[in-house]
């Protein structure tokens, strides 16, 4: 009996072994026969599993927002130079920069066939602003009048809708802000300000799994951890109608595997290149490689709440800044994936001015030493730079440290936190010991976003504790400027002033390093570093 | 036998509670807050953060959280909800487990079949050229790190020869799964070979084998029945514990071949501080370990008639 059992075991093993080798034998190229070009060609983009449900006001990370962007259109958008383009809005007018009148274009429909009306916007924004609905991006509505009643810092909400939003008729509504903001129109281009169809409110949770929008693509399917598919929406009325038949967002665990798949034709558009492949990707892809600056900046910020930096003379920080050899580090350590920064505002946004920081961002060891000496030296003569170890920052932090030590003799070391969460934790709790790595990607393409939201003493993005009465007053003045141009110029003036306070040390601008397959053409990236999906054309075989 | 199994199953209860509690506490001890993490660099509105923390019970003491979690899990089979996506953890598990089961199953078969086969060949020819060649081969497999092996196989079989696809796009396609399964199996395969070889070589000199040969039994029966059954006990022990390792420890291999399985999900849950997902995943792995070990112990009795469970 037992003998028989053993014999069976062996038999099973043999069958399996045969099966395994049979698998290995054949079947490799399944023929990439998806060629016949047409405006209906479908292509794939390297992406990942969205962290959040696909609700427009609930998505912050890039995997979710690239899908949301394809499914939803907002009132306005902006071009590559940072100029406003009307999308769903016919016009957005204001006389005092406080009350904006929005007129919608006629004939727009959601993917389920219902009309996009003024109510679609107002109701959606009210829903997203209410804390009970737990939308991660709800604070974007805080500029609108009545937000404090809907979401008071303490206690129960006093109102369920924002008093600053009023529907005039089916295609018109007004937005009243709590205080004037000349560049508010820019914010309207963010996904948070999307309209929602009536069906959304019946079951917001289900809508997050199967979103219905008003954008150039309509939702097809979401296979969790595998892919999301969207198809061209034929009834789309906007200026950016899709030139292809649809997009598949494919889930990749690492950029390395995505790059291999690009080479073997399994994915068409990459949004990033792994460090390992950076030295070769231009050679591999030729003119299908993409290398362009985007509107994001990396800085190192002193923790102004520490003893070391509390009452520091800005000259010391200027000196440290001049001790960093940005040109060499970006070229060597960072493989040309960054571009040395010359100011605090990134490229590609309205109001960008080259060389805003003067010579403070150019490497000059002698002057660096002298400035630090004039400023009274670095307290303790040693600094650390906090960074998160899971973001690939170690190499450049070490390089920056070496550069500072070599040029000035100030001791410098990296202070590594296990991951981004731990890093954030230390920053939020004001436990940074000396300096920390900081980065900012644009929310809207205007210089105000890089100055007000980072260096205003009460801004959400200000985690360094930088606070300067003069800067705050200037920001308030720029915010109440009479026109967008005026505001832009005032912010430009503030940026020129920042060098005297050194709220952070600008390092470099980010670039997008990406590529695409031979199957597609017309692949462009916007200033946030995302591919412009609607412009991609799928080639004929 | 029945009483033995019942006793073993009862013993699992404290082990199960202990491990889940330990993991729960460890996740809690990590710095970083899953809700705050949702908002990244920019910070979020404190009202929404407070609401979310309340919804997921993160504002309660850790032991209360654990109690609620265990209660829901045992009574309702409810593993909680993922904080970021709002999806039930059971759905997340349902996505990841079949993928990993396929990968682990395939590599388990590979390591078992080839590992034991190589071990027998080496053991029967102990000290000769074949044995030394197999020793060299297995040492090589043990010493080469998984990711190096993965890249080498990819370069050879996917890019140069074009036999296999480099990455997994569809986890139900065994053709795509073959290469990752081989990579995952290699190190264990080598251990299985070494174990089998040693015990075969040892038992070959045992009295009962000499008796069997003297009795005039055909060689196939001597090796296949008498020798194998006694030699496989350490191998089966190893294979049993390896099931768990193959399932939970495939983080590197999964990342290398773009497989969206348990390993990657565990890694992501740690990074995002998704305690509920993590505990759910690990709970199931703990169960797999416990059951595999029980199975191994029962297999002893089948393999070696001298072992009896009262």
Q: Please report how many Cα atoms fall inside a 13 Å half-sphere around the Cα of residue A108, on the Cβ side.
A: 31
Selected residue with higher pLDDT from B287 and A515: A515
Q: Specify if A157 maps to a domain.
A: no
* Number of residues that this document lists for chain B: 310
DSSP helix/strand/coil, B197: helix
Q: Bridge-partner residues for A537, per DSSP?
A: A521
pLDDT at A17: 36
CB atoms B48 and A142 under 8 Å: no
Chain-centroid distance of CA B46 in Å reads: 41
**Is beta strand A42-47 parallel, antiparallel or unpaired with respect to A246-251?**
parallel
End-to-end CA distance of chain A: 63
Count of domains observed in chain A: 1
| Closest residue in chain A to residue B34, using alpha carbons only | A421
In angstroms, the CA A315 to CA A321 distance is 10
Does the beta carbon of A430 lie under 8 angstroms from any beta carbon of chain B?
A: no
> Is B173 in CB contact (< 8 Å) with chain A?
no
Residue in A225, A420, A442 to test binding to B, most B beta-carbons within 10 Å: A225
Q: Give domain status of residue A15, yes or no.
A: no
Q: Would you mind telling me the total number of residues written for chain A in this entry?
A: 541
**Phi, psi (rounded to 5 degrees) for A516:** -145, 165
| Range(s) of the domain holding residue A380 | 292-511
Average of pLDDT values for B292-304? 82
Q: For residue A100, what are its two tokens?
A: 């904006």
Residues in chain A within 8 Å Cβ distance of B48: 131, 134-136, 138-139, 151
Alpha carbon distance A124, A57 (integer Å): 9
**A309 and B CB contact within 8 Å:** no
From the CA atom positions of chain A, what is the Rg in Å?
26
* Distance of alpha carbon A387 from alpha carbon A295, whole angstroms: 21
Residue recorded with tokens 């934790």: A425
Quick check: is A470 in a domain?
yes
Tell me the chain B residues in contact with residue A387 when contact means C-beta distances shorter than 8 Å.
Answer: none
Cα–Cα distance, A9 to A3 (Å, whole number): 10
Outline where A264-300 has alpha helix (H).
Answer: 278-285
Query: What value does the mean pLDDT of chain B take?
Result: 83
Q: Do B85 and A51 touch (CB under 8 A)?
A: yes
pLDDT of residue A198: 94
Evaluate whether ipTM surpasses 0.95: no
**B37 vs A: CB within 8 A:** yes
In the DSSP assignment, the letter for residue A135 is -
CB contact under 8 A, B86 and A422: no
Residues of A in contact with B32 (CB under 8 A): 419, 421-422, 424-425
**Preferred mutation among B26, B28, B29, B31 to probe A, highest tally of A CBs within 10 A:** B31
Per-residue pLDDT of B235-274, as tens digits, reads 888 888 888 788 876 778 888 888 888 888 888 888 777 7
Is A60 within 8 Å of B39 when comparing Cβ atoms? yes
pLDDT of residue A405: 94
DSSP string, A410-469: -EEEEEEESSHHHHHHHHHTT---SEEEEEEE-SSSBHHHHHHHHHSTT-TT--S----H
Q: How far apart are CA A48 and CA A42, in angstroms?
A: 18
Indicate whether A527 belongs to any domain: no
Q: What is the pLDDT of residue A37?
A: 67
Measured between CA atoms, the residue of chain B closest to residue A6 is B225
* B44 Cβ under 8 Å from any chain A Cβ: yes
Q: What is the pLDDT, as a whole number, of residue B73? A: 78
What does the block give as tokens for A453?
């939201």
Fold of B1-310: MetI-like fold (1.10.3720)
Interface of A with B in 498-537 (CB under 8 A): none
What is the rounded CA–CA span in Å between residue A126 and residue B301? Answer: 68
- pLDDT value of position A326: 94
Res A1: pLDDT: 34
Per-residue pLDDT 10s for chain A (541 aa) are: 333 333 333 333 333 333 333 333 333 333 343 455 678 899 999 988 888 889 999 887 788 889 999 999 999 998 887 888 999 999 999 988 899 999 999 999 999 999 999 999 999 999 999 988 888 888 889 889 999 898 887 778 888 899 999 999 999 999 999 988 888 999 999 899 999 999 999 999 899 999 999 999 999 999 888 899 999 999 999 999 999 999 999 988 788 888 988 988 889 999 988 888 888 899 999 989 999 888 999 999 999 999 999 889 999 999 999 999 999 999 988 888 899 999 999 988 888 999 998 889 999 999 999 999 999 999 999 999 999 887 778 889 999 999 999 999 999 999 988 777 788 888 888 889 999 998 888 888 889 989 988 898 878 778 888 999 999 999 999 988 888 889 999 999 999 999 999 999 999 999 999 999 999 988 999 888 889 999 999 987 6
Q: Give the three-class secondary structure for B2.
A: helix
Contact residues, chain B, for A152 at CB < 8 Å? 47
B167 closest CB neighbour out of A151, A260, A390: A260
pLDDT tens digits for B200-220? 988 888 888 888 889 888 888
Tell me the nearest-neighbour CA distance from A235 into chain B, angstroms. Answer: 30
- Decide if B152 touches A, using CB distance below 8 A: no
CATH number at residue A453: 3.10.105.10
Predicted TM-score (pTM) of this structure: 0.80
Separation between Cα atoms, residue A421 and residue A425, nearest integer Å: 6
- Within 209-228 of B, beta carbons closer than 8 Å to A belong to 224-225, 228
User: How far is residue B262's CA from residue B266's CA, in Å, rounded to a whole number?
Assistant: 6
A204 touches chain B (CB under 8 A): no
pLDDT confidence of residue A210: 94
Q: Does A62 touch chain B (CB under 8 A)?
A: no
């Amino acid at each position: 009996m037992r003998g028989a059992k053993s014999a069976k075991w062996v038999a099973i093993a043999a069958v399996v072994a045969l099966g395994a080798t049979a698998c290995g034998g054949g079947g490799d190229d399944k023929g990439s026969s998806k060629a016949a070009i047409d405006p209906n060609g479908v292509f794939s983009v390297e992406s990942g599993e969205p962290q959040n449900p696909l609700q427009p006001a609930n998505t912050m990370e890039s995997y979710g927002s690239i899908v949301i962007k394809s499914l939803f259109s907002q009132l306005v958008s902006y071009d590559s130079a940072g100029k406003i383009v009307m999308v769903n809005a016919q016009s957005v007018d204001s006389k005092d920069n406080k009350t904006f009148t929005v007129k919608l274009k006629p004939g727009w429909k959601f993917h389920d066939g219902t009309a996009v009306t003024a109510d679609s916007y107002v109701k959606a924004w009210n829903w997203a602003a209410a804390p009970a609905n737990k939308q991660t991006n709800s604070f974007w509505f805080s500029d609108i009048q009545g937000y404090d009643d809907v979401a008071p810092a303490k206690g129960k909400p006093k109102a369920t809708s924002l008093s600053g939003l009023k529907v005039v008729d089916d295609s018109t509504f007004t937005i009243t802000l709590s205080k004037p903001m000349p560049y508010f129109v820019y914010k309207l281009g963010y996904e948070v300000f999307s309209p929602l169809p009536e069906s959304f409110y019946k079951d917001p949770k289900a809508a997050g799994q199967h979103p219905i929008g008003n954008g150039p693509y309509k939702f097809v399917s979401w296979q969790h951890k595998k892919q999301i598919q969207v198809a061209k929406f034929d009834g789309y009325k906007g200026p950016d109608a899709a030139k292809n038949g649809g997009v598949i967002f494919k889930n990749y665990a690492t950029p390395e595997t995505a790059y291999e798949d690009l080479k073997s034709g399994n994915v068409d558009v990459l949004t990033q290149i792994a460090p390992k492949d950076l030295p070769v990707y231009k050679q591999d892809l030729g003119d299908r490689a993409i290398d362009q600056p985007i509107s994001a900046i990396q800085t190192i910020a002193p923790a102004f709440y520490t003893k070391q930096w509390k009452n520091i003379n800005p000259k010391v920080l200027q000196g440290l800044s001049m001790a960093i050899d940005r040109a060499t580090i970006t070229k060597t350590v960072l493989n040309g994936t960054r571009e040395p920064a010359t100011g605090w505002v990134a490229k590609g946004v309205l109001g960008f001015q080259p060389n805003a920081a003067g010579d403070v961002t150019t490497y000059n060891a002698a002057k660096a030493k002298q400035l630090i000496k004039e400023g009274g030296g670095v307290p303790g003569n040693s600094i650390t730079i906090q960074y998160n170890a899971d973001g690939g920052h170690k190499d450049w932090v070490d390089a920056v440290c070496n550069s500072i030590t070599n040029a000035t003799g100030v001791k410098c070391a990296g202070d590594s936190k296990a991951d981004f969460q731990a890093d954030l934790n230390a920053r939020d709790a004001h436990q940074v010991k000396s300096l920390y790595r900081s980065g900012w990607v644009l929310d809207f393409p205007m210089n105000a976003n890089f100055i007000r939201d980072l260096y205003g003493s009460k801004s959400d993005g200000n985690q360094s504790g930088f606070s300067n009465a003069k800067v705050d007053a200037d920001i308030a003045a720029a915010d109440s400027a009479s026109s967008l141009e005026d505001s832009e110029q005032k912010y430009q003036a503030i940026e020129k002033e920042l060098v005297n306070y050194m709220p952070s040390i600008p390092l470099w601008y980010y670039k997008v390093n990406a590529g695409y397959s031979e199957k597609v053409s017309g692949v462009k990236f916007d200033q946030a570093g995302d591919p412009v999906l609607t412009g991609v054309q799928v080639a004929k075989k | 036998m029945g009483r033995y199994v019942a006793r073993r199953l009862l013993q699992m209860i404290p082990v199960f509670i202990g491990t889940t509690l330990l993991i729960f506490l460890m996740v809690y001890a990590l710095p970083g807050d899953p809700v705050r993490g949702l908002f990244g660099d920019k910070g979020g509105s404190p009202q929404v953060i407070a609401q979310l923390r309340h919804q997921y019970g993160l504002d309660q003491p850790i032991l209360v959280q654990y109690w609620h979690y265990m209660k829901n899990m045992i009574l309702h089979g409810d593993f909680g909800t993922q904080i970021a996506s709002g999806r039930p953890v059971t759905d997340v598990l349902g996505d990841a487990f079949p993928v990993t089961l396929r990968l682990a199953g395939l590599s388990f078969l590979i390591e078992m079949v080839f590992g034991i086969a190589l071990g027998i060949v080496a053991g029967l020819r102990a000290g000769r050229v074949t044995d030394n060649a197999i020793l060299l081969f297995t040492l090589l497999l043990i010493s080469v790190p998984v990711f190096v092996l993965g890249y080498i196989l990819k370069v050879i079989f996917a890019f140069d020869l074009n036999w296999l696809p480099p990455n997994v796009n569809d986890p139900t396609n065994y053709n795509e799964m073959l290469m990752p399964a081989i990579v995952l199996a290699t190190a264990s395969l080598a251990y299985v070979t070494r174990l089998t070889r040693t015990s075969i070589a040892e038992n070959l000199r045992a009295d009962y084998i000499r008796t069997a040969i003297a009795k005039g039994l055909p060689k196939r029966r001597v090796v296949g029945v008498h020798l194998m059954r006694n030699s496989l006990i350490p191998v089966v022990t190893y294979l049993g514990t390896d099931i768990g390792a193959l399932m939970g420890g495939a983080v590197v291999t999964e990342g290398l071949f773009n497989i969206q399985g348990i390993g990657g999900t565990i890694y992501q849950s740690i990074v995002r501080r998704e305690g509920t997902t993590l505990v759910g995943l690990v709970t199931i792995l703990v169960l797999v370990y416990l059951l595999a070990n029980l199975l191994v112990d029962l297999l002893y009795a089948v393999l070696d008639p001298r072992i009896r469970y009262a």
